A and B are shown apart, each in its own frame.
Chain A
Amino acid sequence: MINHQTKPLLSAKDLRTWFPVTGGLWKRTVDHVRAVDGVSLEVHEGEIVALVGESGCGKSTLGYSLLGLTPPTSGSVTLNGTAIDIADPGAWKPFRRDFQIVFQDPYTSLNPRLTVFELLAEPLRVHGIVPAAELREAATALLRQVGLPEDALDRFPHAFSGGQRQRLCIARALGVRPKLIVCDEVVSALDVSVQAQIVNLLLDLKREHGLALLFITHDLSLVRAIADRVLVMNAGKIVEEGPTATLFSAPREEYTKTLLAAVPRMEKRAVAR
């Protein structure tokens, strides 16, 4: 299926992330929760790969493990052509700039005590991307890019709606000009109208800057609209994958069919009643 000339930006082979379950008097490990259980995947430059599945299937853990936020138990991760030593939590550090993540809940992922300017300037300063004197200008440009007013700069996160906060999170991730963003259910908490705004913003960035996305979601309609390729995950494993159009028109696995059948749509009504 994957027919790319380029080297993958991100790849994983046989990745496992197991969490120990302890029990008994001595809190010995009696079992493991196999959150990610032998996953291999690739994401190429400028590609939007959707990772779909129900809550608890391990898709968020997989996203975190790829970026070393939840270190994997075994397997290999290759970022930008460099193999990561998964036993060393610091191994991901040089790649933090190129590989960003935006979390599901914009209410808990922004520090409420920092102003928008401080929030946007922090990654730019940490990565030494913009000289101190130009930080304000750079932050303003980022706000403009995600369609927020410039006067937002000196306000605190609480002054913004969920959609606006999510745009702040995206602006923060974009500031360091990453090659890939892991988007963990970034629009699930938002209204459809705002959801469409964010999705269009991400698509623009893909077109203009070749940004790649690993788009984690349970919203299959959205996947149909934006993804190039889809990975279907169930109980820690990728059960089916393929180009979006193929997978949607001719799903092979029962699990994929179940997921697709559950999506509400107008046409189903006539049959149901």
Chain B
Amino acid sequence: MSAEPLLRVENLSLGFRGEDGRVTRVTDAVSFEVREGEVFGLAGESGCGKTVTCLGLLRLLPAATSVVLSGRAWFRGRDLLSLGADQLRAVRGREIGMIFQEPSAAMNPLLPVKTQLLYPFKHHGVAGGKANPAENPEARIRELLARVGFRDPDRVLRSYPHELSGGMLQRVMIAHALLLGPKLILADEPTTALDVTIQAQVLDLLAELQRETGTSVVLITHNLNLIAQYADRAAVMYAGRVVETGPALSLLKEPLHPYSRGLIDALPDLDAARVPSPIAGSVPPPGRYPAGCRFHDRCPRAFSPCTTEPAWWEPKPGRHVACHLYPGNSGGANHHSPLQDMTE
């Protein structure tokens, strides 16, 4: 834990500028760390700011309408948010890879797969992989396509995106992200568009490659079961803020924040015939977030202090929650045992 994390996001606040020129804050003081060689899960409903945070890190949001309001994102000693355009281009794809939610939308439909997989090499002016710079790019591409499970890489290379299924395309995207041996991969809902069996294949593969290469992965998903199964540590986001962080398993087994609890209860469980219980209401749009704890208007445990900002509480090292139910907050004083209370 003393080692410097691979990525440290500090107080990242992003905003969007509307037509009237006013800036709406979309994410608010988001902080998390991704360590070397770990899978870090980022969970929350649509509209919680998970994707915006990731796109913001690589500054892939439209420059004309998005604003970095505050924050730093330290990656290997540099602040991603203050890099110049050229420096940033050198990082994207080479040091940080990205896997998008909809593989068919992330690929150019007019070009064969081969042309698209050669782009990273051309763009970064490098041949072969990081390990063997002298290696022929095509050999590296074939090696990775075989690694992601294609028996006939040449057929895939000749194909156009529409000739491949969603699962195949997502495997191509994984190979694409790994081409230059990045230190970090941002995987944004990589399997949401896929079937359960294909989902398992793709994520098992990603996990295997992650362990093999020591690459760190940020796994964005709204399915907490995936976080439990694949992530080492995780953060839960709600309405543009991180509300709870911790080791993935303990976070899921003993969720402290009522929102995390709600997400878990909403998941149907294969091992129990339990009707999933919904979280009432929906995530408010940016700019309409309630004051204080942003979850309080949907929270089954809300009480009067919740209209003020909750403070962070650290029940044990590496575990954090921002909620008025816990010590350090107004409601926390007469609270006997938060852990017990939440799991009753």
Chain A contacts to B: CB under 8 angstroms: 54-55, 161-164, 191-197, 199-200, 203, 218-222, 224-226, 244-245, 248, 258-269, 272
Chain B contacts to A: CB under 8 angstroms: 45-47, 166, 195-200, 203, 222-226, 228-229, 249, 252-253, 262-263, 265-279, 282
Contact: A264 with B269, CB < 8 Å? no
In whole Å, how far is A187's beta carbon from the nearest beta carbon of chain B?
10
A193-B45 contact, Cβ under 8 Å, with A266-B229, A266-B249: yes
List A contacts of B266 (CB < 8 A): 192-193, 195-196
A163-B282 contact, Cβ under 8 Å, with A225-B276, A266-B229: yes
A220-B278 contact, Cβ under 8 Å, with A265-B225, A266-B228, A269-B228: no
List B contacts of A203 (CB < 8 A): 275
From A192, A218, A259, A269, contact of B267 by CB (8 A)? A192
Show 5 residue pairs from A and B whose CB-CB distance is below 8 angstroms, ordered by the A residue.
Answer: A193-B45, A195-B276, A199-B278, A224-B269, A258-B197
In whole Å, how far is B223's beta carbon from the nearest beta carbon of chain A?
7
List B contacts of A261 (CB < 8 A): 200
Residue in chain A with minimal CB distance to B211:
A273
Contact: B195 with A55, CB < 8 Å? yes
From B45, B199, B203, B268, contact of A221 by CB (8 A)? B268
**Secondary structure dominating the interface of A:** helix
From B199, B203, B268, B282, contact of A225 by CB (8 A)? B268
From B45, B225, B273, contact of A264 by CB (8 A)? B225
From B46, B196, B262, B273, contact of A220 by CB (8 A)? B196
Since A196-B266, A259-B197, A262-B196 are in contact, a sample of 4 more A-B pairs with Cβ atoms closer than 8 Å, ordered by chain A residue number, is: A196-B279, A199-B275, A225-B269, A264-B200
Contact: B196 with A199, CB < 8 Å? no
List B contacts of A197 (CB < 8 A): 278
CA distance A121 to B91 in the complex (A): 54
Residue in chain A with minimal CB distance to B201:
A262
A161-B195 contact, Cβ under 8 Å, with A266-B229, A269-B229: no
Contact: A191 with B225, CB < 8 Å? no
Residue in chain B with minimal CB distance to A223:
B268
From B224, B271, B273, B276, contact of A267 by CB (8 A)? B271
From B226, B270, B274, contact of A260 by CB (8 A)? B270
From A191, A220, A245, contact of B270 by CB (8 A)? A220
A248-B278 contact, Cβ under 8 Å, with A191-B46, A218-B196, A262-B197: no
Contact: B276 with A266, CB < 8 Å? no
